[in-house]
Amino acid sequence: MDFLFSFDKFQKQRAMQSSPKQSGQRQLYLWLRESILAGRLLPNSRMPGSRSLAQELNIARNSVIYAYEQLTTEGLLHILGRATFVAQLTATPRVEPAAPINSSQHLAARAELYPWPTEPKGTFTAFMPGVPALAEFPLQQWRRCITRAWRQVTLQQLDYSDPAGELTLRSAIAHHLTSTRGVICTHEQIFITDGTQQSLELCAQIFSDSGANLWLENPAYGGAVHAFHKAGLTLRGIDVDAQGIAPTIADWRDAPPKLIYTTPSHQFPLGSVMSLERRMDLIQMAQQNKALIIEDDYDSEFRRNGPPLAAMQGLIANAPVIYLGTFSKTMFPALRIGFMVIPTGLTQMVDKHIQQGYLRGRSAEQLALADFIQRGQFATHLRTMRRVYALRRDALVAAINQHLAVYSDQHISEAALVKGIYVQPLSKLALGTNHYNGLILGYAQIPEGEMDTYIQILAKIIHATLSR
Ligand SMILES: Cc1ncc(COP(=O)(O)O)c(C=O)c1O
């Protein structure tokens, strides 16, 4: 028989697997499939009966039947009367091992990575920017909200949900924003997303064509750079001064933008707050140039001195501003819930775009979040975190003043990483010519009692780097 040799090899291969990861039926199916595709089992040859093959291979008969059925469904075997035959494949494909796929042949130009620092992931690294104090999150309360939400979930809510988001959450967010952030909106303007990253990608897709000019702050948030670069936009870094993004007359004249990305409440990474005058100027110039401002309000809830400044979006009615919010800092990053507040004139169009192109789910998490907000637990959590962060910030400043006088950035960042500390070098975030030199210290995760120890470690690294 043509395939005795094959089965012999099959047995040998099985025997060599001391603790087989795959069942006998799966192994037989894969072996037969490969043998047929490679032409080792000739077309129209008759397969042994399931009973005799099972005996020969010492496996269950059902395993043989399963493998035959599966291959018949795939068109590799066919049944005639009571017998099973190898199918005659029209063009017998050969399964040859291929060379590894070469990315240069397939990668789209816009998928080429922007030269930007990548951050270590996973384990706790002191001073990692952007991560909230996860240990302080009221997990018990959140678990109860999640349990309640799942108990109340309807069958309808197991289906794809409204791509714009759950109505209750949209309403809870609208209420929170109007009362605490001065945003002018109703729930119809709110669109739930998988976080600011998705909001940025959607803004680029919906409000600009590839090649269009986009301005962003210099230095800038890496997530925004990636999103806009991937969308094929022409990025122009606009320097930031103490009052925030500072475009010049030449910028407006030479490269008027379609979109302007800014973090006015707390510039990332420099931390400046955009002055009221600068905000009004930017809105006025955007109106004149028919540009839209993307206001990324990622952590305004934690403003250090006094209450947060009201959002740009609410400074005038119908401001040309898309306001972006996220629960990554106020709750926890893995929640992946953010939102966009769209100007009224654009909501219908955005709704159509999202309804056509996106599927949303995770209704229970959205309902749990709405519950968490409506019960006042969100507001309480924010108050607690403001106190925690104020203490940690004070401890950080005190420790820096005591242990660090001078520093310089990229070498220090590399040396610190070896000791489990990640300080992001400011110079790496510069677009074009760099005139920044600094370290970004995310202090949210470090209890104030441990601040001194970490800064002492960092101080040693800096002294060692400088004395080299
Ligand atoms: C400036 C800025 N915007 C937005 C985000 C959060 O984005 P997401 O909602 O995608 O987690 C971060 C996180 O570090 C950030 O630094």
Does ligand 1 have an atom closer than 6 angstroms to the CB of 221? yes
Instruction: Encode pLDDT of 384-394 as tens digits.
Output: 999 999 999 99
Instruction: Enumerate long-range contacts of 67-74, CB under 8 Å, 24 or more apart.
Output: 67/25, 67/28, 67/29, 67/32, 70/29, 71/29, 71/32, 71/33, 71/36, 74/33
Cα angle: 325, vertex 331, 334; to 5 degrees: 90
Does ligand 1 have an atom closer than 6 angstroms to the CB of 326? yes
pLDDT mean across residues, the chain: 89
Does ligand 1 have an atom closer than 6 angstroms to the CB of 163? no
Does ligand 1 have an atom closer than 6 angstroms to the CB of 267? no
Instruction: Encode pLDDT of 203-213 as tens digits.
Output: 999 999 999 99
Does ligand 1 have an atom closer than 6 angstroms to the CB of 222? no
| Stronger pLDDT, 386 or 38, i.e. the higher one | 386
| pLDDT level of residue 265 (50, 70, 90 thresholds) | very high
Does ligand 1 have an atom closer than 6 angstroms to the CB of 49? no
| pLDDT level of residue 1 (50, 70, 90 thresholds) | very low
Give residue for tokens 């001073």.
127
Does ligand 1 have an atom closer than 6 angstroms to the CB of 339? no
CA–centroid distance, 296 to ligand 1, in Å, is 8
CA–centroid distance, 453 to ligand 1, in Å, is 28
| Stronger pLDDT, 312 or 88, i.e. the higher one | 312
Does ligand 1 have an atom closer than 6 angstroms to the CB of 424? no
The pTM for the full model equals: 0.78
Residue 407, pLDDT > 60, answer yes
Give how far Cα 341 sits from Cα of 183, 186, 197, 290, 323, Å: 9, 9, 15, 18, 5
| pLDDT level of residue 167 (50, 70, 90 thresholds) | very high
Cα angle: 161, vertex 167, 173; to 5 degrees: 125
pLDDT of residue 113: 72
Where does 17-131 have alpha helices with state H? 24-37, 50-57, 61-73, 103-106
Does ligand 1 have an atom closer than 6 angstroms to the CB of 371? no
Which of 173, 199, 221 has most ligand 1 atoms within 8 Å of CB, for mutation? 221
Residue 21, pLDDT > 70, answer no
Hey, how many other C-beta atoms are within 10 angstroms of the C-beta on 275? 15
pLDDT of residue 118: 74
Mean pLDDT of 229-251: 94
Instruction: Enumerate long-range contacts of 93-98, CB under 8 Å, 24 or more apart.
Output: 93/37, 94/37, 94/38, 94/39, 95/34, 95/37, 95/38
| pLDDT level of residue 22 (50, 70, 90 thresholds) | confident
CA–centroid distance, 323 to ligand 1, in Å, is 13
Cα gap 434→234, rounded to integer Å:
19
Residue 198, pLDDT > 50, answer yes
Mean pLDDT of 58-80: 92
Mean pLDDT of 238-266: 95
Residues 6+ apart with CB under 8 A from 56: 7, 48
- pLDDT above 70 as % of the chain: 93
- DSSP 3-state of 421: strand
Does ligand 1 have an atom closer than 6 angstroms to the CB of 195? yes
pLDDT of residue 284: 97
- What is the phi/psi pair of residue 132, to 5°? -75, 175
pLDDT of residue 123: 72
pLDDT of residue 405: 54
CA–centroid distance, 329 to ligand 1, in Å, is 8
Ligand 1: nearest atom to the Cα of 296? 3
Q: Which two tokens stand for residue 151?
A: 């108990």
- Nearest one of 349, 330, 337, 86 to 193, comparing CA atoms: 337
pLDDT of residue 25: 85
Mean pLDDT of 361-372: 96
Mean pLDDT of 391-418: 84
**How far is C-alpha 335 from the chain's CA centre?**
11
Instruction: Encode pLDDT of 420-466 as tens digits.
Output: 999 999 988 888 766 678 899 999 999 999 999 999 999 999 888 87
pLDDT of residue 437: 82
Instruction: Encode pLDDT of 101-138 as tens digits.
Output: 877 778 887 777 777 777 777 777 889 888 999 999 99
pLDDT of residue 464: 86
| pLDDT level of residue 397 (50, 70, 90 thresholds) | confident
Q: Which two tokens stand for residue 270?
A: 């420099």
Cα gap 367→358, rounded to integer Å:
19
Residue 230, pLDDT > 60, answer yes
Give how far Cα 293 sits from Cα of 229, 263, 329, 333, 456, Å: 17, 10, 22, 25, 42
| pLDDT level of residue 145 (50, 70, 90 thresholds) | very high
Instruction: Encode pLDDT of 152-166 as tens digits.
Output: 999 998 999 999 999
